[in-house]
Amino acid sequence: MRNARIAGLVYLLVILIAPLRLVYIPGHLFVDGDAAATFHNIASHEMLFRLGLVGDLVTGAVSLLLTFTLYRLFKDTDKTVALLMLMLGFMDTPLYFFNALNDMATLTLVQGADFLSAFSEAQRTGLAALFLRMHGLMIAGAEIFWGLWLFPLALLVFRCGFLPRFLAYWLTINGLAYLALSFTGLLAPQYNEMVGNMAFPCQLGEIAFALWILAVGARPKTAPLPAVQAA
């Protein structure tokens, strides 16, 4: 089915772009417990940090397209559940765009524009660290919606009849993993690494779903042929 392959392609784009700011840039530029080193790394690799900022904005825009394409794919399965999926999935876009403001503020502080001359470098470093921390906390908050929208999506996959049900189970587990990451980041951040390691295989459900509908598409179950009665 053409709609399934389009949705799979859009989903794959989100999966490929989102880790740039979520994983790659923090791993290469941020130094835990050393705001000055992080500040220096961003200043030295400003274009990389800008790419992460743009990547977040593109991810938010493509996510909006993703929820629309999935709604088109599943609206005939259950329009009410498909609308719930669309509503929860839509929240991804404003949260990405709102959170980009924290990176814009960080970049402005790192550049040290003339109107910031009243602030010392140490003060700008501290403020930049604050905005980066806010960015991280906002991600933890956004993960609530990253998880919630997968539950109606999983229900649609389970009911549709043209996708294997193991994908529905995996998407449900994926949603629970995002909720666990969110609540850990907000309530018990000292356990972030442990919960993240445990959640990683669960989060592969979205990748499996995206690759399946892209490569295999939506194949309705064929009804068994009626038995031929002997004359």
How far apart, in Å, do the first and last CA atoms of the chain sit? 40
Percent helix, strand and coil across the chain, each to the nearest 5: 80, 0, 20
Mean per-residue pLDDT, 108-121: 87
pLDDT above 60 (res 174):
yes
Mean per-residue pLDDT, 188-194: 94
CB 102 within 8 A of CB 59: no
List, for residues 60-89, the tens digit of each pLDDT value.
Answer: 999 999 999 999 999 999 999 999 999 999
Q: 3-class DSSP state for residue 161?
A: coil
* pTM for this prediction: 0.89
Q: What is the DSSP string of 72-131?
A: HHHTTT-HHHHHHHHHHHHTHHHHHHHHHHHHHHHHHHHHT-GGGTTS-HHHHHHHHHHH
CB 53 within 8 A of CB 100: yes
Average pLDDT, rounded, for the chain: 92
